[in-house]
Copies of this chain bind each other. A is one copy, B any other.
Amino acid sequence: MSDLLERLRERGWRVTAQRRVVAEVLDGDHVHLTADQVHTRAALRLPEISRATVYNTLGELVALGEVAEVSTDGRAKRYDPNAHRPHQHLVCSGCGAIRDVRPLGDPLDRLPADQRYGFTVSGAVVTYRGLCPSCV
């Protein structure tokens, strides 16, 4: 994630304090923050940062393929910095905890031609559900 700002600068991104702080907040493994959580954490380091800027920056990072957007429930979208390694998600129905997981094989293999209705199928998103150890 530390090279992220360099990569983006090379792509013509203007590096501002706000963008740097948002990128820093998103650093780590199994990180799946809502925009609001990103804003709260970013504001600890840069109190004047606005919600609009957080939304704009997250949107740009998603468009650039550096961050993935995840919507596991009908609630707020979550932002996942682990966008370079393809993976799926395992969500706890009790507390909402999310883990990145890598299932075996390609889910596309499981969809036979007669179930494709003439679509050109390009991808599959899998969300596993269950209870985490703390939620029994």
Write out the residue numbers on chain B whose beta carbons fall within 8 Å of the beta carbon of A126: 107, 124-126
Binds B, one of A15-23, A49-57, A108-116: A108-116
* A2 at the binding interface (Cβ < 8 Å): no
B92 contacts A119, CB within 8 Å?
yes
A111 contacts B121, CB within 8 Å?
no
A111 contacts B101, CB within 8 Å?
yes
B99 contacts A105, CB within 8 Å?
no
B121 contacts A130, CB within 8 Å?
yes
* A61 at the binding interface (Cβ < 8 Å): no
- A99-B127 in contact given A71-B74, A105-B110 (Cβ < 8 Å): no
A128 contacts B132, CB within 8 Å?
no
Write out the residue numbers on chain B whose beta carbons fall within 8 Å of the beta carbon of A12: none
A107 contacts B107, CB within 8 Å?
yes
Beyond the given pairs A101-B117, A125-B127, 16 more chain A to chain B contacts, judged by CB atoms under 8 angstroms and listed by A's residue number, are A71-B71, A90-B111, A90-B116, A102-B115, A103-B111, A107-B126, A107-B128, A116-B130, A118-B133, A119-B128, A119-B133, A120-B130, A121-B130, A122-B130, A124-B129, A126-B126
The 7 lowest CB-CB distance pairs between A and B, nearest first, are: A121-B130, A103-B110, A118-B133, A119-B130, A101-B115, A125-B127, A120-B131
